[in-house]
Amino acid sequence: MTSAKPYETVSPSEPISTPAQTESLAGRTGMILAGLAGASAVGIGAFGAHGLPDFLEQSGLDPDTVARRLEQFETGARYHLAHAIVLLGLAVAPLRWSGWLRTIRALMVAGLIFFSGSLYVLVLTNTPVMGAITPIGGVCWIVGWLMFVGCRDSSTSQ
């Protein structure tokens, strides 16, 4: 019998059959999402701080528009990193993995895509209409945050 590594919870050929395996897989998936969100937030933030100003100036935008676009990009990056941390918290939280938590995680990821992603596209393409998508991401985050009210820790109830 081979010993499994701590991060290898279930082989692809074995069905998930126990609550512990389900929770472990959910935690692993959450760690992957949090890691990808965090790494991309840092990389995008670094680009925003170091490469974006020159990119926007070379795009022929006037100084006021460049300043506005830099602020919008920074807002997207700040919220992106904050919600990457939320995803990490969800991955390690002592909460049972119910449909509520799956939905919260999905809403946090949707918020990253619609809020931060639309701001990144708006800035990089100078397409102000993309700003109409941004509130969808904000609503996803608000609903996700409000859903925490329904969560219980694993020691209280099933």
Q: What is the pLDDT of residue 148?
A: 83
Give tens-digit pLDDT for 20-45.
655 676 778 889 999 999 999 999 99
- In the numeric block, which tokens belong to residue 66? 């460049």
Q: What is the pLDDT of residue 97?
A: 65
Q: How many residues can be counted in the chain?
A: 158
Q: What is the pLDDT of residue 29?
A: 87
More confident residue, 43 or 8: 43
- In the numeric block, which tokens belong to residue 75? 């807002």
Are the C-beta atoms of 113 and 133 separated by less than 8 Å?
A: no
Please indicate, yes or no, whether the overall pTM of this predicted structure exceeds 0.95: no
Q: Say yes or no to pLDDT of 153 above 80.
A: no
Q: What is the pLDDT of residue 8?
A: 47
Are the C-beta atoms of 157 and 141 separated by less than 8 Å?
A: no
Give tens-digit pLDDT for 101-150.
889 999 999 999 999 999 999 999 999 999 999 999 999 999 999 998 87
**In whole angstroms, what is the distance from residue 85 CA to residue 55 CA?**
29
Q: What is the pLDDT of residue 102?
A: 86
Q: What share of the chain is helix, strand, coil (3-state, %, to 5)?
A: 75, 0, 25
Average pLDDT score over residue span 49-53? 96
Cα–Cα–Cα angle for 128, 58, 137, rounded to 5 degrees: 30
Backbone angles phi, psi at 152, to 5 degrees: -130, 150
Q: Exposed/middle/buried for 2, CB within 10 Å: 0-12, 13-18, 19+?
A: exposed
Q: What is the pLDDT of residue 18?
A: 57
Q: What is the pLDDT of residue 1?
A: 47
**In whole angstroms, what is the distance from residue 49 CA to residue 100 CA?**
36
What's the Cα-to-Cα distance from 73 to each of 27, 36, 63, rounded to whole Å?
Answer: 30, 19, 15
Average pLDDT score over residue span 85-100? 82
Q: What does the mean pLDDT of the chain come to?
A: 85
Q: What is the pLDDT of residue 81?
A: 97
* H helix or E strand, kind and range, residue 69: helix 63-92
**In whole angstroms, what is the distance from residue 121 CA to residue 125 CA?**
6
